[in-house]
Chains A and B, each alone.
Chain A
Amino acid sequence: MFETLILMLDATMRVSTPLIFAALAGLYSERAGIVDIGLEGKILGSAFAAAAGAAVFGSAWIGLFFGIMASVSLAMVHGFACITHRGDHIVSGVAINTIVAGLTVTLSMNWFGMGGQTPTLSGDSRFLSVTLPFADALANVPVIGLIYSELLSGHNILVYLAFAMVPVTYWVIYKTRFGLRLRAVGENPHAVDTAGISVAFIRYRALIVCGILCGLAGAYLSTAHNAGFLKDMSAGKGYMALAALIFGKWRPVPVLLACLLFGFLDAVAIRMQGVVIPGIGEVPVQAIEVLPYVLTVLLLAGFIGKAIGPKAIGRPYVKERA
């Protein structure tokens, strides 16, 4: 039983990683006042670019670089539409998602001719598991051995990076000048403008950070979790990350917990696949998979606490005629 739990938590960590990256990406963007429904598109775009780059150059790191570049470019398109031209954030985000969904398949057919996939990656062109020091030595120690060797050790570098990004984000958001301005710009951009700071510049920078984190999420999917790009491989992770962001009330640590909860539910769903429970029959996996969204709706409806987002979110900043 304990071993099963450890295995499920182990799976949770792996499944949660792209959610954590993407939800933190959304956190930077939304705390700065930019709604980011385009997380999904950025993840998918990055997954494709990373897999393509890794396949061509034979290095996961070069793939990661391409993934981040693709995602940041998409974030800049979003910024250009929403910040510079004061467009609707949702429309721009949905447009990005739609374009990327089509473009990735088209480009991969053209470049690799594999029916919308990229070549299977192996060796250095993937992020491989890292074995933490003493993991093998401790493997046989009861309880601790299992936790350390199975749960904590044996993930690839991006998993550790994702978890490390949480305290980093907390520090950036609450302890730095950039964080203070970022939070202010999402709450009351007028206050930022009259303090002599450019609203647009802060928002663009927030979107660059958002793009980098989405790039990591996408690269993780195609070059670490899987061994290549598959059509629509982001499979709604961007939306789930957005749900986790709201569930975590736009704060780094609660967002991490929400991602882990959603990841855990995902792991449960996978584990329960085909399992027959006496009296009920086969477990409907979809019922578990839908839970993150149901929980988010319940939260937004006010049944579990209250989710109050940044005040100026989704509103383009226009200097008022005083």
Chain B
Amino acid sequence: MTNKTTPYAIELQDISKRFGAVQANKDICLQVPAGSIHGIIGENGAGKSTLMSIIYGFYEADTGHIEVDGKRVDIRSSQDAINAGIGMVHQHFMLVENFSVLENVILGAEGGALLKGGVDAARIELQRLAKEYSLDIDVDAIVEELPVGLQQRVEILKALYRGARILILDEPTGVLTPQEADHLFRILKALKDQGVTVLLITHKLREIMASTDNVSVMRQGQMVAHRETAKTDKEELAELMVGKKVRLTVDKGEAKPSDVFLSARNLSQFDSQGVKRLKNVSLELRAGEILGIAGVSGNGQSELLNVLSGIEPMGEGEIHIAGQVITANAPKNAAQMRELKMAHVPEDRHKMGLVTGFEAYEAAVLGYHNSDTYNGKVLMDRKVMVDECNERMAAWDVRPPNPHLKTANFSGGNQQKIVIAREVEQNPDILLIGQPTRGVDIGAIENIHEQIVKLRDSGKAVLLVSVELDEIMALSDRIIVMFDGAVVGELDAKDADERTLGLMMANAYSEEKEEVPA
């Protein structure tokens, strides 16, 4: 018997959960002291989200049990978790977008069959919470009209309104600018000072180091280590996460940019509503360089990729590539762009990069399926495709190396390798690559980054779009920042730091410079 002076806010004992053949969680034990911020870190697919879903009653554990404040609780549904004082801020917000903030907060805690009383009570309670935790918000605003940072605040208020004393945040900063993220961490500190226990799930080491008291590391469904944050460092945690030494930076030499391979002038694009999504973007992409496009997701990067790759027609402007000029009146589609030796790894591999119901060898020829290599006189040459797929799987370390497995059944990293291999092995002059490591684990990230640098060093031009600042800074030779569809800044990668980029991404750079003359 351990001699506990104060019971833990939450304690997990031997939690296991299995989904079919996948052991998502195995014998998880965790002890979180009350009033602390506890980080849980691990790669994608390490079982963090499953574990949190068990605590929040979304899934039921196969074995093991949960104690809250030293008392064993039986959590079979979200309602049980809420009753036990557990609140959760999901990675994808659980908000009804066309409801007001107030309606979202009271949903499920209306306090009576009629709304009137509950709404009035909630209004007063929210004012109190807003004051206590500095969570100001217009309670009558419609949620979909709020910026994501504030939507997240609604999620936090929702949990607090239900009396949560333990707050779980699942990858809370994925959608935030660095400044919004900093604000979130200030809020978490305030919550902690009020005695709330915070469980922070993330795969970002920086956040763990900056904000937590303790940290637990998960790997392949198991809890592999518990550390006091002050007594550990990024390198140790990263090593625990992947189980081997990793580099957080990419080894690359000086870039040797030469000829301009692609030049875009005043590119604009309009969506189906006639709204200008891409605003007069001009850029030059040279052989032997990696040009990084930074920006918070949804600021025109996707439109830029789609226009450059020929997926969407451009509205205005021109693209110069391989001695040809492409304009709105003389467009080229995606297949014609490929013929100009431009390869494209789309941002969303499930929607655009792969057909998830296809077997790997089929997915590995998509976009090049008309090439003579893969075709006999009448039918496609299956043997050639399978053999080539086998070779590539060996060269790119795709696991499992089975060309006949449906692409849906590969992990994110391996799916991405299939897509990147397909594009890179065609030996393009230009590679457009969007979010190359989204949902990819650290081991594969390293591999993918190396391949991108290798491509650059062989004299190709790479345009990299990523919302991960670390990735942009590690890979790029030159960085362009986009905001609201327009280019708001360009700088040499050597001069870039997180703060400058973050400010540019929020379009606050010039303002701040005026306030603080350098």
Contacts and interface: CB of A to CB of B under 8 A. Distances in A.
Given A184-B99, A187-B98, A322-B170, A192 B50 contact: no
A283 B57 CA distance: 65
Interface residues of B, number: 39
Main secondary structure of the interface of A (DSSP, over half): helix
Nearest to B19: A321
Given A175-B114, A177-B114, A180-B110, A191 B94 contact: yes
A180 B115 contact: yes
B329 interface: no
Given A184-B107, A196-B108, A322-B58, A191 B96 contact: yes
A112 interface: no
B406 interface: no
Contacts of B113: 176-178
Given A188-B96, A188-B97, A175 B110 contact: no
Contacts of A195: 78, 82, 94, 107-109, 158
A319 B116 contact: no
A201 to B, nearest CB: 12
A14 interface: no
B108 A183 contact: no
B205 interface: no
B79 interface: yes
Nearest to B77: A196
B271 to A, nearest CB: 14
Nearest to B48: A322
Contact of A322 (B50, B80, B108): B50
A315 interface: no
A322 B53 contact: yes
A193 B170 CA distance: 17
A251 interface: no
A193 B96 CA distance: 12
Contacts of A197: 79, 107-108
B106 interface: yes
Interface residues of A, number: 24
B86 to A, nearest CB: 11
A187 B56 contact: no
Contacts of A181: 107-108
A30 to B, nearest CB: 15
A175 B115 contact: yes
Contacts of A190: 92, 94
A184 B77 contact: no
A322 B52 CA distance: 9
Interface string B151-184: 0000000100000000000100000000000000
A150 B359 CA distance: 71
Contacts of B95: 188, 191
A205 interface: no
Given A190-B94, A196-B82, A176 B53 contact: no
B97 A311 contact: yes
Interface-centre pick from A175, A184, A193, A195 (highest chain B CB count, 10 A): A195
Interface string B62-80: 0000000000000001111
Given A177-B118, A322-B58, A187 B50 contact: no
A184 B115 CA distance: 14
A183 B96 contact: yes
B114 A191 contact: no
B477 interface: no
A181 B108 CA distance: 8
A28 B165 CA distance: 36
A180 B170 contact: no
B429 interface: no
B112 interface: yes
Contacts of B50: 321-322
Nearest to B114: A176
Nearest to B22: A321
A286 interface: no
B449 interface: no
B94 A322 contact: no
Contacts of B104: 191
Interface-centre pick from B82, B108, B114 (highest chain A CB count, 10 A): B108
A177 B103 CA distance: 10
27 contacts: A175-B114, A175-B115, A176-B114, A177-B112, A177-B113, A177-B118, A180-B106, A180-B107, A184-B96, A184-B99, A184-B103, A184-B107, A187-B97, A188-B95, A190-B94, A191-B95, A192-B108, A193-B78, A195-B78, A195-B94, A195-B108, A195-B158, A196-B57, A196-B77, A196-B78, A197-B79, A197-B107
9 A-B pairs with least C-beta separation? A195-B108, A196-B79, A322-B49, A177-B110, A191-B94, A196-B78, A194-B94, A187-B96, A184-B96
Interface of B: 19, 49-50, 52-53, 56-58, 77-82, 88, 90-92, 94-99, 103-104, 106-110, 112-116, 118, 158, 170
